[in-house]
Amino acid sequence: MRPTQAPFPATRFRRARQSPATRALVAENTLTAGDLIWPVFVRDGHSVVEPVASMPGVNRLSVDKVVEAARKAADLGIPAICLFPYTDPSKKTEDCAEAWNPENLSNRATRAIKAAVPEIAIMTDVALDPYNSLGHDGFVVDGKIQNDETIEALVKQTLSQAEAGADIIGPSDMMDGRISAMRNALEAGGHKDVMILSYAAKYASAFYGPFRDAVGASGALKGDKTTYQMNPANSDEAIRLVERDLSQGADMVMIKPGMPYLDICRRVKDAFGAPTFAYQVSGEYAMIRGAADNGWIDGEKAMMESLMCFKRAGCDGILTYFAPEVARKLAKS
């Protein structure tokens, strides 16, 4: 039971809010650069910085430029970078074989970052959509996404990423049973220290639109992802999914998207106490940036507030396209 609060005027909440000093003293949560994972888009070529139209301020970078970005991120105190490849359409097939090619873009970028910036953790994405001519995260047969066959491919993709040097594997595919298959393969393959950050509660969301442009998957995708990603109406199901993934060997779990799903973040943190992350996805970024660029909101304040809210909701960290900007701002304040 809470002790009863003295009635007004003995209790005045505004006393504690009267100055920056007292506000800092009673702040319940903090945001630091150490809470951030920075998702970046990688593309072919040399010295290429190609803007993503639907995400102002975000670029697709060639491998040499990603290495420079990783250097900057590490110097800002950002602990991890997350790689998403923009795959040339000529390399997309229905068998998705590029996904486990040791020389694919993601693996080349991983090796280059490891060599130049060994202190930053590298997270990679496990799902077939960047490599699938049909745009889905799994194999498609007669219009249906195949669960078990997809898992075999995801295991190959996982091992090729671990062999390239990935520290954290991020399965974003939402197939059932993938975490135990990946964990067993990593153990058997001599990668016992590779972590899995499971996209455990990933919703079928309209907020991924700009991302699909960024990785070039929008054009390929037929239909939607509602047979494998979650229904936004559900909350208990998220708890069951997180429990399942933790029981299969996930080290950390993610809720995605972020801001419309803060209730799920809080429930997951309270239920399991496991390292819990939220992904502030492309559409959330685009909304804040778009409104700011139009002068409708203060973009910097909205950015900082949105990230603090993830901490308040129980998240240990946030994947956000704002990561370098936030880290720069935090370093100044």
Active site residues: 202, 256
Residue 216 beta carbon to ligand PBG: minimum distance, rounded to whole angstroms: 12
Q: List the interface residues with ligand PBG, window 169-188 (CB under 6 A).
A: 172
Residue 225 beta carbon to ligand PBG: minimum distance, rounded to whole angstroms: 6
Q: Does 129 bind ligand PBG (CB under 6 A)?
A: yes
User: How far is residue 288's CA from residue 60's CA, in Å, rounded to a whole number?
Assistant: 20
Binding mask 134-153 for ligand PBG (x = CB under 6 A): ---x----------------
- Of the listed pieces 121-129, 152-160, 262-270, 302-310, which binds ligand PBG according to CB under 6 A? 121-129
- Of the listed pieces 1-9, 123-131, 178-186, 297-305, which binds ligand PBG according to CB under 6 A? 123-131
Tokens matching residue 118: 């060994």
User: How far is residue 166's CA from residue 82's CA, in Å, rounded to a whole number?
Assistant: 10
- When the beta carbons of 125 and 245 are compared against ligand PBG, the nearer one is 125
Helix 105-116 vs helix 147-164: angle between axes, to the nearest 10 degrees? 30
Tell me the residue number closest to ligand PBG, measured at CB: 211
Q: List the interface residues with ligand PBG, window 243-302 (CB under 6 A).
A: 281-282
Q: Which one of 211, 261, 310, 322 is in contact with ligand PBG (CB under 6 A)?
A: 211
Q: Which one of 71, 212, 244, 329 is in contact with ligand PBG (CB under 6 A)?
A: 212
- Of the listed pieces 69-77, 110-118, 205-213, 300-308, which binds ligand PBG according to CB under 6 A? 205-213
User: How far is residue 263's CA from residue 243's CA, in Å, rounded to a whole number?
Assistant: 17
Q: Does 127 bind ligand PBG (CB under 6 A)?
A: yes
- Of the listed pieces 13-21, 64-72, 156-164, 208-216, which binds ligand PBG according to CB under 6 A? 208-216
Residue 288 beta carbon to ligand PBG: minimum distance, rounded to whole angstroms: 13
Q: Say how many C-beta atoms besides its own lie within 10 A of residue 136's C-beta.
A: 26
- When the beta carbons of 225 and 289 are compared against ligand PBG, the nearer one is 225
Q: Which one of 35, 125, 213, 245 is in contact with ligand PBG (CB under 6 A)?
A: 125
Which residue, 90, 275, 284, is CA-closest to 170? 275
* Alpha helices (H) in 94-208, listed in sequence order: 105-116, 147-164, 178-188
Which residue, 138, 252, 150, is CA-closest to 201? 252
- When the beta carbons of 57 and 271 are compared against ligand PBG, the nearer one is 57
- Of the listed pieces 7-15, 69-77, 125-133, 238-246, which binds ligand PBG according to CB under 6 A? 125-133
Q: Does 213 bind ligand PBG (CB under 6 A)?
A: no
DSSP secondary structure letters along 70-117: HHHHHHTT--EEEEEE---GGG-BSS-GGGG-TTSHHHHHHHHHHHH-
- Looking only at the bridges linking them, the beta strands covering 252-256 and 36-43 are unpaired
Residue 293 is given by DSSP the state: H
User: How far is residue 235's CA from residue 244's CA, in Å, rounded to a whole number?
Assistant: 15
Residue 173 is given by DSSP the state: S
User: How far is residue 200's CA from residue 173's CA, in Å, rounded to a whole number?
Assistant: 9
Residue 143 is given by DSSP the state: T
Is the Cβ–Cβ distance between 156 and 99 less than 8 Å?
Answer: yes
Tokens matching residue 145: 């996404």
# residues near ligand PBG by CB under 6 A:
11
The residues that touch ligand PBG, with contacts defined as CB under 6 A, are 125, 127, 129, 137, 172, 208, 211-212, 225, 281-282
